[in-house]
Structure 1
Amino acid sequence: MRRRFVIEAVMVASYGHLLVPSRPVDYVLPYSSVLELYEMRDGGAPVMEDPEDDRHVKHIIGELIAFFEEPLNRKKIEKAMQVPWRESAPLLLSDMIQFTVVHAVDNAQYGELFDPIETELLLTGMKLDIPLLSDQFEYEDRLVEAGVPVQVYDIEDFEFAVEEGILSDDMSIT
């Protein structure tokens, strides 16, 4: 069974171990995070502090963009973009990794506490009832403080999340 995670597209490019999971995964990406890849590729700002790492990550970003632009994948994404909250058909990167792009729609419910991408990530996790993967401690803390009903794993706990994870039932207080 594939484990599903909501994640920003750039994180897949930034963390190499996400591309070699021990079990099949489905990375669910709000469409706006896919669009961010273009900004990161074309913008002058570095993605990583180390110049060599930055070149490598930008190369992976370019490969991901090319993957999303493949005709069949583009068609699947365009179909999902026709209706809010529609999920694309699976975009198969390998036998272990697939992407699902979601036409997430920001709403004002969390707009004051989170930026638009963060809001779309948490709403996607809530709507689809799947956990988030994040590398931003501040974001994780704000999710907890705001009482957002979504499970979040730090990127450092990725293998645990894939192998074992925490079931929603285990998180409820009795």
Structure 2
Amino acid sequence: MSRTLVIEAVMLAVHGQLLHPDIPVTYVIPYTSIQELYELKDLNEPIMLVSSDDAYVKQRIVELIAFFEEAFNRKKIEKALQVPWRKSTPLLINEFVTLAVVYAVDHAEYGEQFDPIETELILTAIKENAGLITDQLELMERIIEAEIPVQVFDVEDFEYAVEEDYQV
């Protein structure tokens, strides 16, 4: 049985363990977080504190962009972009990881407390009845304080998030 988690695309580049779970995982990614990869790729400032880590993450970002731009994957994504909240058909990363891109469009519901991508992550998690995984402790705190009905996990708790008895 596959677990579904909502995540930003860049998290897959920064946290390599997310691509090697012990059980099948489907990551649902808002399209705008894929667009953010292009900004990060061209960023002259470091993403990571250690230069070797920064080079590694930037290379992973380039690889993710290439994956999303592959003709077959691009076609699936473009089809999803035709209708708000449509999810792409699965994009296979490996035998345990599948991606689905969602065309999230609502930014207003939590607009004052959260930026547009954070709002899309939250709303996607609600619509998918899925957990949200992040490495931003401040985001987790704001979600909890706002009492938003989303199960949110720190990336360090990834193994717990994909446990078989876990239910959203």
- TM-score band w.r.t. shorter chain: over 0.9
2:75 aligned counterpart, secondary structure: helix
SS at match of 2:162: helix
Match of 2:32 in 1: 32
Q: Would you identify which runs of 4 or more consecutive aligned residues in structure 1 move more than 4 Å? A: none
SS of equivalent residue, structure 2 residue 156: helix
Q: 1:172 aligns to what? A: none
Q: Deviations over 1:104-152 (max 9, x none)?
A: 0133110000001100000000111111001111100100111111111
Provide the identity percentage.
58
Which TM-score applies when normalising by structure 2?
A: 0.97
Gap regions ≥5 residues in structure 1: 169-174
Are the aligned partners of 2:79 and 2:88 in contact in 1 as well (CA < 8 Å)?
A: yes
CA distance in 2, matches of 1:129, 1:115: 21
User: Shift of residue 163 of structure 1?
Assistant: 2.0
**Alignment pair present for 1:161 and 2:154:** no
| Native 8 Å contact 2:132 2:151 kept in 1 | yes
Aligned partner letter, 1:143 = I
Q: What does residue range 5-154 of structure 1 map to in structure 2 within 5 Å?
A: 5-154=5-154
Number of equivalent positions: 168
Contact 2:86 2:103 in 1 (8 A): yes
Q: Which amino acid is the alignment partner of residue 140 of structure 2?
A: E
Q: Distance in 1 between matches of 2:39 and 2:108?
A: 24
CA contact 2:131–2:161 (8 Å) conserved in 1: no
Q: What TM-score, normalized to structure 1?
A: 0.94
* Alpha-carbon RMSD: 1.0
Contact 1:81 1:103 in 2 (8 A): yes
Aligned to 1:171: none
Q: Which amino acid aligns with 1:13?
A: A
Deviation string for 1:23-52 (max 9, x for gaps)? 111111000000111110112121111111
Question: For 2:37 and 2:92, how far apart are their aligned partners in 1?
Answer: 18
Pair 1:157–1:55, CA change in 2 (3 A): same
